[in-house]
Structure 1
């Protein structure tokens, strides 16, 4: 429907332009031959509309057959000049016949007398109009080609972004699985039942994440639920040493974000924070919506005597940065800071409500 509308409007504008040219030609003929306004209009308007159709169709196919990108400019000019001269000659011949027809049909109205100077002017106008029509077609074709290239470039960009997101997402599962298998291996010699429970929890976690696609977004509430599933696996090993607290506003919970964004941050908090403390600690997630932004914070207790700020960012934190940059560009940011015995990661991204 859209294409038909635009094609119809373009055709209407094209015909309107040629009608204006026909009125101008009628005025010139009236002034040059004294044929009168009615006779000049009856002569000029039909003749101009016929020539508009001839110029439109023939120049369009010639522009298609002689694209500027592949044909030499000299050959294009020669072909169009010969064609324009031929079309203008035929137009002048048709004008002579048309004038004779009107003189025979309505001799009382007078008629246009095509003297050699008038015919020469019509020939020059015909060549000029054909050339202008060809230029208009070339501009339209170049515009169409540029639009196709822009669309193709956008499609390729989206495909590349999707491939990058899939690659970054695939880094998370092996990384998490490696750490979990190490934990299960450590438990097998200490508590076989706990190792079995952790294995079942791990299977359930991967079953839940199997349907998550890297290019689709999930609700923040679902992302937090997935994080809790991960922590349930880790709590089999850490027991009461590992605690979790979440503060999430209702409007923030309905925001959309890439899947498994919080999980690598929470994994880092457990492995490099809580896991290094004999007494354990708390992993805290805070989420709030501030206007058009969604602000997330993941923080955990760390050893205050360990003076290496940001220790353990590794694959997880770098992966989160790259994924958010791929999805949101400069509209998202990730900042990791250390404040005494607290290590925190702040994420700021657009508040996507899926509207």
Structure 2
């Protein structure tokens, strides 16, 4: 039966319920002195199991044909007529089954169906049909609500994916704009360096294209892209740009959103090292602390300049992407102490095997 019999567990529960009702009916017939208990059970149990299938299928298709959203009065009339017809049919089925039990080969198995027992069987048939109808309505509405919830969840996930793709695509134009400005500045001061930087930029974007289709990449791969970016910036800053790394092996294999560290390093170069005539150091640190991955980007800054408010494209983009992917499980914090500025990312530590 569709709905209730869609799973083995549902079918077993349904049949167990009707078997219990059959045993109860047999007990009532025996207590009323209509027949001995074995005869009453042989009459009631098979009759209930047969009615379970007949009423079950009929009630299911009736519920599908007349959903709950319709006008209540016509729906109640249809259900009442269907229950009355089912009760009378069950009474006829009971008399037929009893007649078969009274045949000469099984004359010991029959019972006496008097007016009171006939009325009880008909009324019980109507009630059981109503019960089957109510159960099917509950199952249909539950499945409908579950399907609607899954559809809403799929829509939210699709919207989230679209938002993440939009945020991801903000990075490339932002980085390209800054890089082209650097190439423009070098083209008059150092044309060979500008040409080399152009080639490095092309290599950078070829490398990043392979990460576009992936939701998450290993931190080691993300850092490889960062190193490529720093190689581009060294064409402009030379020895003024120094980089130190402290990456734990268990952190390097953790998964992160692609291009999540590069904007932070780009900010460190643009707003930190780029403002210092003597240059400075960018420190990259990654540690795994239990179930969390912590990544920190720290750089020298000009202590005489006012502290940045952290409202740039890079930090805002990273914050929104972390919130979209991890919700409250991830965070980004930045702080400035004298001549050092640091940004720390915290997110769930996931690996490809999780």
Query: What TM-score bracket applies, with the shorter chain setting the length?
Result: over 0.9
Contact 1:268 1:313 in 2 (8 A): no
Structure 2 CA distance for aligned equivalents of residues 110 and 86 of structure 1: 27
List structure 1 segments (4+ residues) > 3 angstroms apart after TM superposition: 3-6, 105-108
The equivalent position to 2:345 in structure 1, one of 341, 344, 347, is 347
Gaps of 5+ in 2: none
Task: Give the equivalent residue in structure 2 for 1:191.
Answer: 190
TM-superposed deviation, 1:51: 1.0
Identify which range, 241-250 or 110-119, moves more after superposition.
Answer: 110-119
Task: Give the equivalent residue in structure 2 for 1:105.
Answer: 104
TM-score, scaled relative to structure 1: 0.95
Q: 1:312 to 1:350 in 2, by over 3 A?
A: closer
Contact 1:56 1:133 in 2 (8 A): yes
Structure 2 CA distance for aligned equivalents of residues 227 and 239 of structure 1: 17
Secondary structure of 2:303's partner? coil
Contact 1:166 1:214 in 2 (8 A): no
Map residues 57-206 of structure 1 onto 2, 5 A cutoff. Answer: 57-69=57-69, 71-106=70-105, 108-109=107-108, 111-206=110-205
For residues 227-261 of structure 1, the C-alpha deviation after alignment (integer angstroms, 9 at most, x for no partner) is 01000000001111111111011111111110111
Structure 1 CA distance for aligned equivalents of residues 203 and 109 of structure 2: 96
For residues 128-153 of structure 1, the C-alpha deviation after alignment (integer angstroms, 9 at most, x for no partner) is 00000101001111111111112111
Gaps of 5+ in 1: none
Q: Residue 21 in 1 paired to residue 21 in 2?
A: yes
Contact 2:56 2:132 in 1 (8 A): yes
Q: 1:278 to 1:29 in 2, by over 3 A?
A: same
Structure 1 CA distance for aligned equivalents of residues 310 and 130 of structure 2: 70
Map residues 32-71 of structure 1 onto 2, 5 A cutoff. Answer: 32-69=32-69, 71=70
TM-superposed deviation, 1:33: 3.9
For residues 19-64 of structure 1, the C-alpha deviation after alignment (integer angstroms, 9 at most, x for no partner) is 1111111111122243112221221122111111111000000111
Secondary structure of 2:113's partner? coil
Q: 1:4 to 1:142 in 2, by over 3 A?
A: closer
Map residues 186-265 of structure 1 onto 2, 5 A cutoff. Answer: 186-213=185-212, 216-265=215-264
TM-superposed deviation, 1:6: 5.9
TM-score, scaled relative to structure 2: 0.95
Task: Give the equivalent residue in structure 1 for 2:336.
Answer: 338
Taking only aligned residues, the RMSD between alpha carbons, in angstroms, comes to: 1.7
TM-superposed deviation, 1:276: 0.7
Secondary structure of 1:309's partner? coil
Identify which range, 214-223 or 175-184, moves more after superposition.
Answer: 214-223
Identify which range, 98-107 or 289-298, moves more after superposition.
Answer: 98-107
Structure 2 CA distance for aligned equivalents of residues 105 and 162 of structure 1: 74
Work out the number of aligned pairs and report it. Answer: 351
